[in-house]
Amino acid sequence: MRKEVNIRKAVEYVINSEKEKHTLLGIGPMSENFLRASLEISKEKDFPLMYIASRNQVDSYELGGGYVFNSDQKVFHDKIKEICEEINYDNVYYLCRDHGGPWQRDKERADQLPEEEAMKIAKESYKADILNGFDLLHIDPTKDPEVMCKVVDIDVVFNRTIELIEYCEQVRKKYGIEKEIAYEVGTEETSGGLTSLDTYESFIKRIKEYTEEHDLPMPIFIVGQTGTLTRLTKNVGHFNYENSRMLSSVAKKYGVGLKEHNGDYLSEAKLLAHLPLEITAMNVAPAFGTIETMALLELLDVEDKFAELGVITEPSNLREAITNASVYSMKWKKWLTDEVDMSNLEVLDDATKLQITELCGHYTFSNPEVEKEINQLYANMDILEIDGKRFVIEKLKEEMEKHVRCFNLEGLTTKIEQSM
């Protein structure tokens, strides 16, 4: 049976623990394989999971749905529950909205929706989150197409944040949902307005004063900029130890946790530094998608060799399918650096195509043609008595193991329970 540990209690334990340090891990639900891998390792290592679903990944069908197995909030919720039952999961996971808010779907920004419409859509999305059991909602109203690359005025950020929290609390009460909804505010984007330590602290103080005065829940996480920045399949930012230390100290002063985004592809040395720096939680998403795509490419290498030997008579067409789908998905736009020339997709060299596939392959897993070829690949592995899906899952668990070790997560659920 799944354990019940309130997410606020878990965060408070991590913030206040003096005997030993921990950093919580937020993970992007990149695929069904990754859901299974993460639930398995959570059960084995006894630590809580935070599934951080962006609106592009999981959202109401009325708003466009999500690319993660074409899911809305209910399908997402039910799929996790189904896997839990299959593996007899007995630990703790939290459903979390990552970067909820207006203009947070790519299409909404491209369409440059007016603020009133964008806020209305954001509220509809949050309502679906709440009605489908989400535990944490990230309130991020900083993706404003009117502002583009300029900094969104901090008063605008504050007012939109409060409006959305108030709306979510109204929904919770209207539908008789007794479970507390936890909130995360702020953004790692430089356009979000929280670019200095003074602004960061004043924003937290302002949020705290307003929530206390109006009987609203104080957010449990404040996102801060630690210097991380994900581009291609590496972290090109400059992790700032001193700034991270100061941000975590300021957040702790107000009883909230520092949440770091864009934690993909960091070295183990930098991951280990999160404990003494008292960074409460870190988000990782595209890195796990890259691991899964690379695992599939490894299986393709095996398939190629045994097709040459005549053992496999119907090889999959996955390499071509996933490459084409990745290149023409255009999802690479947000992750590329200037060093990659994508001006003419028809003449890309093989090295660039591979780079884009590793980067964007996870966006295509639910593409019917790609999904068909993945299943053919798994069938061919069965001929060789290789469990292809299990190979992929174990590769994902290996990557998670690194974070479990560096963030001192093993046994954390039991420790939180014992403190309650």
Q: Could you read off the pLDDT of 48-75 as tens digits, one per residue?
A: 999 999 999 999 999 999 999 999 999 9
From residue 285, give the alpha-carbon distance in Å to each of 57, 290, 297.
11, 9, 19
Residues 320 and 270 in one domain: no
116, 158 contact by CB (below 8 A): no
Residues 361 and 279 in one domain: no
Domain with residue 36: its CATH number is 3.20.20.70
**Parent domain of 321:** 289-395
Q: Please indicate, yes or no, if residue 2 is contained in any of the structural domains.
A: no
Over residues 364-376, the mean pLDDT reads 97
Residues 162 and 101 in one domain: yes
Residues 239 and 124 in one domain: yes
Residues 239 and 343 in one domain: no
pTM: 0.93
At position 392, the amino acid (one-letter code) is V
Over residues 338-353, the mean pLDDT reads 79
Residues 299 and 414 in one domain: no
In sequence order, what are the beta bridge partners of 184? 138, 221
Q: Please indicate, yes or no, if residue 1 is contained in any of the structural domains.
A: no
Q: Could you read off the pLDDT of 109-163 as tens digits, one per residue?
A: 889 999 999 999 999 999 999 999 999 999 999 888 876 556 788 899 999 999 9
String of DSSP letters for 368-400: HHHHHHHHHHHHHHHHTT--HHHHHHHHHHHHH
Residues 207 and 191 in one domain: yes
Count of the separate structural domains present in the chain:
2
Residues 279 and 313 in one domain: no
Residues 116 and 214 in one domain: yes
Residues 205 and 263 in one domain: yes
Residues 135 and 258 in one domain: yes
Residues 181 and 323 in one domain: no
At position 142, the amino acid (one-letter code) is T
